Chains A and B, each alone.
Chain A
Amino acid sequence: MLSKLSRRQLLKSMCAIGALVATGVTAVPSWAQDKPTAGGTLVYLEKQAHTSLYPPGAGFYPNAGVLNQITDKLTYQNPQTLEIEPWIAESWDVNADATEYTFRLREGVTFSDGTPLDAKAVAANYDVYGLGNITLKQTVSEAINNYARSEVIDAKTVKFYFKAPSPGFLQATATPTSGLVAVSTLGLSADELGRAPNIIGSGPFVVASEKLGTEIQLTARKDYAWGPAKVKQQGRANLDGITVLTVPEDGVRIGALLSGQGDFIRQVHAYDEAQVKTAGYTVYGAQTRGTTHAVAFRPGNPLVADLKVRQALLHATNSTEIITTLFSENYPKARSPLSSVSAGFVDLSSELGFDPEAAKKLLDEAGWKPGADGIRQKDGARLSLGAYESLNYARSKETLQLLAQQWQKVGVELKLLAGEAGTRTKDDLDPLKTPLVPTKVERADPDVLKSQYYPTTRDQLRQKGGKGVATEFVDKTLNDILDKVASEPNTAKRLEYTGDAQKRLIEQAYVIPLFEEPQSFAGAPDVKDVVFEAVGRPVFYSAWLDR
């Protein structure tokens, strides 16, 4: 028996076939794209399981993949223009030195538990994100700098005060790390927030159920009516629901997509792109504005404490070879520690040249002479460095192995380390164990550099005063510049400081930028209008299934 729905589908597919016959095979019926169909469940295959869904933890892709669907933000950053547009906040004022922000909120917005999303709730959210909560293990959001306090002016007006200028704050209200949740959710510890059904947001989808680590069911909120004001999609989401499945095996994910068991997948490696495209599927290389995929040194380790050694390794690195061997045209060569589509980007490619001869000369000057096994030695120590692969980035293991081949040619050994999660985490804090690390973080604001390299944030260089153990290394010049980037209210000046920070990172050869890593997704041909926000996380609010 044909149900009403399937009869409609049948009719539609017959129309589609008719249209194809009439207009030639390559033509797509125009109505198919213009009018979204409501209904259906999208199956989204994620590479990794989410960790804590405490919103400031949304830097981790799988977390943002869920949080983006179930939470709203104060503002919306247009992924094309990078302009900040209204969302939950209808309008806002910023004072001249960026220390006070006032937001006027939209009315009638509720969380999925029925409580209102008003000034009080927003203030409660930002007090936690800006100051953290040690007892509940809720960290300070890396996107928010210099936060002092909030003030509820009236039910729909909230004001934030900062200890020092915080020019990045307006953009911070639009990042995936600033999703708004109900006050009751804020009362849960970071561990309890690992369970998706505990997250009460106001977003277009609600968590219906979860099988921890493997599956999350999201259902559309029928009464949702407060999407970003300027986007095309309005009202409730087109989809009825989303099934998020964790599928860590690359081959299985691709296979499931191509055989129709999944509709949308995250992370398609360069070597699978051709196959996916040939089958008529779409590969999305969503740009992730922020720092480029790089390796960062921990100068607290004596082997890489010498600037000349770091510079030598910078020039021994052939990023073009890495891209042509392992990646595709979706991965542009890095020209700075910051990606070329980020505000404040400075082209430093002239400093990043591949020159093995110069590298050898620098190592000679630094006193490292080739030993019997080809690896350079100095005072009995071998120039042998270790690094763990990063599980979060595309083909990190292969990248490091290729890098090892390149460095081997100038007499430096790079070994891939192996260890279980606990050892890894511990070693990562100790520059003596991990003299370098693959690194990258996304955010469409110059603050991203501070997030990545400042001692009290991600501290990728393991400076003294940060998370690192047994390190005496500190670069005050760099930290001062990063402070200025995060607190200069004048935009032009701020971008200038952003340039200075990039130059400092390369002058000191703290990082070797390799390529600009996109977030690669693939979707079935009938999945339409999936949007990626400014840092490449998917948003399924406007998505629909053309079937």
Chain B
Amino acid sequence: MGVAEEPRTGVSAGSRTAEWWRPVLEQIKGIGPATWLSYAVLILAVLWALFPGLFTAYDAITGTPGQQLRAPSLAHFFGTDALGRDVFSRVVHGSVHSLSGAFVATAVGLVVGTALGLLSGSVGGVVDEIVMRIVDVLLSIPGLLFALSIIILLGFGTLNASIAVGAAAIAAFARLMRSEVIRVRSSDYVEAAIGSGGKLSSVLWRHVLPNSLTSVVAFSALQFGSAILQLSTLSFLGYGAPPPTPEWGLLVAEGRNYVATAWWLTAAPGLVVVIVVLAANQVSKSIRGRA
């Protein structure tokens, strides 16, 4: 807890010391192999999203008739689907949809949830009561069901699915942020800042927000993983982008009809989702552990 208790400011860290990399190195030393691997997985997924052409030469959308339903081989790592498309290529090209979707979802939850939590925790009183009762209601609705309701209102599609997943996470972010804010708000340095004539808004911005964020950041890494999973669930159910978009959940859904003859069509993208989500969870755990 020692690190968190030390007041930090929103001022950039670069001006503090020339040897800024030393603590970073210390931190890196403490990272275990599982976390290394998790980072590697996430970086690979991001690279897939940014430069899919480096990893596969096949077209993700247009198939080659006559090449359909081939088993996994060196030419096609994950085999080919019913239209003769390389499934590995579809997974690689699909990562941009799944990752950016999860990013948007996490951003929506993080920004709106943090703002609500900050407001609620710092203002207190009636505002706190109202916000928290709304959060109670939101938390009582199962996340997937809530996301589904939103998507029915907004319409189908990747962006709408991300917004829906993000909205479903707002309540959790708000609750977490509020508890952190209340903890930090009662610490001496915040009292001192207010006592020495600081405006509430600037105290919130300079002292409360940066010192409350560690848990929230850890939680957003966790949320990123579960957003991938929820987005995949939504696109599996057909609420995401329509085919032939290679969204991961959609790949699993499309493959499941072939389970009896070509199990890899559903297993391979499914495994990729599992591995990426586990990696995000591991990273979140490591951030929280060090905080």
| Chain A minimum-CB-distance residue to B235 | A418
Whether A405 contacts B63 in the complex (CB less than 8 A), given A325-B83, A415-B242, A417-B242, comes out as: yes
In the bound assembly, the distance between CA atoms of A418 and B241 in angstroms comes to 7
In the bound assembly, the distance between CA atoms of A405 and B67 in angstroms comes to 15
A100-108, A231-239, A268-276, A497-505 - the one binding chain B:
A268-276
* Contact digits for B124-167, partner A, Cβ 8 Å, 1 yes 0 no: 00000000000000000000000000001001110000000000
B82 touches A326 (CB 8 A): yes
B289 surroundings in chain A (CB, below 8 A): none
Tell me, rounded to whole Å, the shortest Cβ–Cβ distance linking B232 to chain A: 16
| Chain A minimum-CB-distance residue to B68 | A325
* Contact digits for A321-336, partner B, Cβ 8 Å, 1 yes 0 no: 1001110000000000
B260 touches A275 (CB 8 A): yes
The number of inter-chain residue pairs (CB within 8 angstroms) is 69
A249 touches B256 (CB 8 A): yes
B232-289 at interface with A (beta carbon < 8 Å): 238-244, 254, 256-262
B241 surroundings in chain A (CB, below 8 A): 418
B242 touches A324 (CB 8 A): no
- Asked whether any CB of chain A lies closer than 8 Å to the CB of B72, the reply is no
- Asked whether any CB of chain A lies closer than 8 Å to the CB of B65, the reply is yes
- Asked whether any CB of chain B lies closer than 8 Å to the CB of A419, the reply is yes
- Asked whether any CB of chain B lies closer than 8 Å to the CB of A225, the reply is no
B62 touches A254 (CB 8 A): no
- Asked whether any CB of chain A lies closer than 8 Å to the CB of B184, the reply is no
A258 surroundings in chain B (CB, below 8 A): 260
A275 touches B62 (CB 8 A): no
* Contact digits for A296-331, partner B, Cβ 8 Å, 1 yes 0 no: 000000000000000000000000010011100000
A325 touches B65 (CB 8 A): yes
B254 surroundings in chain A (CB, below 8 A): 397
A404 surroundings in chain B (CB, below 8 A): 244
B261 touches A408 (CB 8 A): no
- Asked whether any CB of chain B lies closer than 8 Å to the CB of A401, the reply is yes
- Asked whether any CB of chain A lies closer than 8 Å to the CB of B118, the reply is no
B260 surroundings in chain A (CB, below 8 A): 250-251, 254-255, 258, 272, 275
A419 surroundings in chain B (CB, below 8 A): 155-156
In the bound assembly, the distance between CA atoms of A398 and B253 in angstroms comes to 13
Pull 10 A–B residue pairs with CB atoms less than 8 Å apart, ordered by A: A250-B257, A258-B260, A271-B262, A325-B66, A401-B83, A404-B244, A416-B244, A418-B238, A418-B239, A420-B152
B63 surroundings in chain A (CB, below 8 A): 402, 405
In the bound assembly, the distance between CA atoms of A154 and B222 in angstroms comes to 79
B258 touches A251 (CB 8 A): yes
Tell me, rounded to whole Å, the shortest Cβ–Cβ distance linking B81 to chain A: 9
* Contact digits for B51-65, partner A, Cβ 8 Å, 1 yes 0 no: 000000000001101
Residue in B63, B68, B243 with the greatest tally of chain A CB atoms within 10 Å: B243
| Chain A minimum-CB-distance residue to B63 | A405
Residue in A398, A402, A418, A419 with the greatest tally of chain B CB atoms within 10 Å: A418
In the bound assembly, the distance between CA atoms of A271 and B242 in angstroms comes to 23
In the bound assembly, the distance between CA atoms of A295 and B240 in angstroms comes to 25
A321 surroundings in chain B (CB, below 8 A): 65
A417 surroundings in chain B (CB, below 8 A): 242
| Chain B minimum-CB-distance residue to A416 | B242
A398 surroundings in chain B (CB, below 8 A): 82-83
Tell me, rounded to whole Å, the shortest Cβ–Cβ distance linking B180 to chain A: 39
- Asked whether any CB of chain A lies closer than 8 Å to the CB of B210, the reply is no
B257 surroundings in chain A (CB, below 8 A): 249-251, 269
Tell me, rounded to whole Å, the shortest Cβ–Cβ distance linking B70 to chain A: 12
In the bound assembly, the distance between CA atoms of A356 and B170 in angstroms comes to 52
B82 touches A271 (CB 8 A): yes
Question: Which of A269, A271, A324 contacts B66 (CB under 8 A)?
Answer: A324
B65 surroundings in chain A (CB, below 8 A): 321, 324-325, 402
Given A249-B257, A404-B244: 15 more A-B contacts, CB < 8 Å: A250-B258, A250-B260, A251-B257, A255-B260, A324-B65, A324-B66, A325-B65, A325-B84, A397-B254, A398-B83, A416-B242, A416-B244, A419-B155, A420-B152, A423-B155
- Asked whether any CB of chain A lies closer than 8 Å to the CB of B69, the reply is yes
Using a Cβ–Cβ cut-off of 8 Å, how many residues does chain A contribute to the interface with B? 29
Q: Give the secondary structure class of B's interface.
A: loop
* Contact digits for B195-217, partner A, Cβ 8 Å, 1 yes 0 no: 00000000000000000000000
Whether A272 contacts B261 in the complex (CB less than 8 A), given A398-B82, A405-B63, A408-B62, comes out as: yes
* Contact digits for B29-53, partner A, Cβ 8 Å, 1 yes 0 no: 0000000000000000000000000
| Chain A minimum-CB-distance residue to B244 | A401
B256 touches A251 (CB 8 A): yes
| Chain B minimum-CB-distance residue to A417 | B242
A249-273 at interface with B (beta carbon < 8 Å): 249-251, 254-255, 258, 269, 271-272
Tell me, rounded to whole Å, the shortest Cβ–Cβ distance linking B254 to chain A: 8
B238 surroundings in chain A (CB, below 8 A): 418
B156 surroundings in chain A (CB, below 8 A): 418-420
A369-396 at interface with B (beta carbon < 8 Å): 395
Q: Which 7 A-B pairs have the closest CB atoms?
A: A251-B259, A418-B242, A325-B65, A416-B242, A418-B156, A250-B257, A254-B260
In the bound assembly, the distance between CA atoms of A395 and B82 in angstroms comes to 10
A418 surroundings in chain B (CB, below 8 A): 156-157, 238-242
In the bound assembly, the distance between CA atoms of A258 and B82 in angstroms comes to 22
B69 touches A271 (CB 8 A): yes
Tell me, rounded to whole Å, the shortest Cβ–Cβ distance linking A163 to chain B: 45
In the bound assembly, the distance between CA atoms of A269 and B258 in angstroms comes to 9
Residue in A249, A321, A401, A419 with the greatest tally of chain B CB atoms within 10 Å: A401
Tell me, rounded to whole Å, the shortest Cβ–Cβ distance linking A493 to chain B: 43
Residue in B62, B65, B240, B254 with the greatest tally of chain A CB atoms within 10 Å: B65
| Chain B minimum-CB-distance residue to A249 | B256
In the bound assembly, the distance between CA atoms of A399 and B198 in angstroms comes to 67
Question: Which of A251, A255, A275, A402 contacts B83 (CB under 8 A)?
Answer: A402
| Chain B minimum-CB-distance residue to A406 | B65
Tell me, rounded to whole Å, the shortest Cβ–Cβ distance linking A275 to chain B: 6
In the bound assembly, the distance between CA atoms of A249 and B84 in angstroms comes to 22
A108-133 at interface with B (beta carbon < 8 Å): none
B244 surroundings in chain A (CB, below 8 A): 401, 404, 416
Residue in A271, A321, A326 with the greatest tally of chain B CB atoms within 10 Å: A271
B62 touches A405 (CB 8 A): yes
In the bound assembly, the distance between CA atoms of A254 and B244 in angstroms comes to 26
Tell me, rounded to whole Å, the shortest Cβ–Cβ distance linking B157 to chain A: 8
In the bound assembly, the distance between CA atoms of A103 and B148 in angstroms comes to 55
In the bound assembly, the distance between CA atoms of A398 and B255 in angstroms comes to 12
* Contact digits for A403-430, partner B, Cβ 8 Å, 1 yes 0 no: 0110010000001111110010000000
| Chain B minimum-CB-distance residue to A401 | B244
In the bound assembly, the distance between CA atoms of A258 and B258 in angstroms comes to 15
Question: Which of B84, B152, B261 contacts A271 (CB under 8 A)?
Answer: B261
Tell me, rounded to whole Å, the shortest Cβ–Cβ distance linking B239 to chain A: 8
Whether A271 contacts B258 in the complex (CB less than 8 A), given A321-B65, A324-B66, comes out as: yes
In the bound assembly, the distance between CA atoms of A255 and B258 in angstroms comes to 11
Residue in B62, B155, B254, B257 with the greatest tally of chain A CB atoms within 10 Å: B257
In the bound assembly, the distance between CA atoms of A395 and B258 in angstroms comes to 12
In the bound assembly, the distance between CA atoms of A304 and B218 in angstroms comes to 53
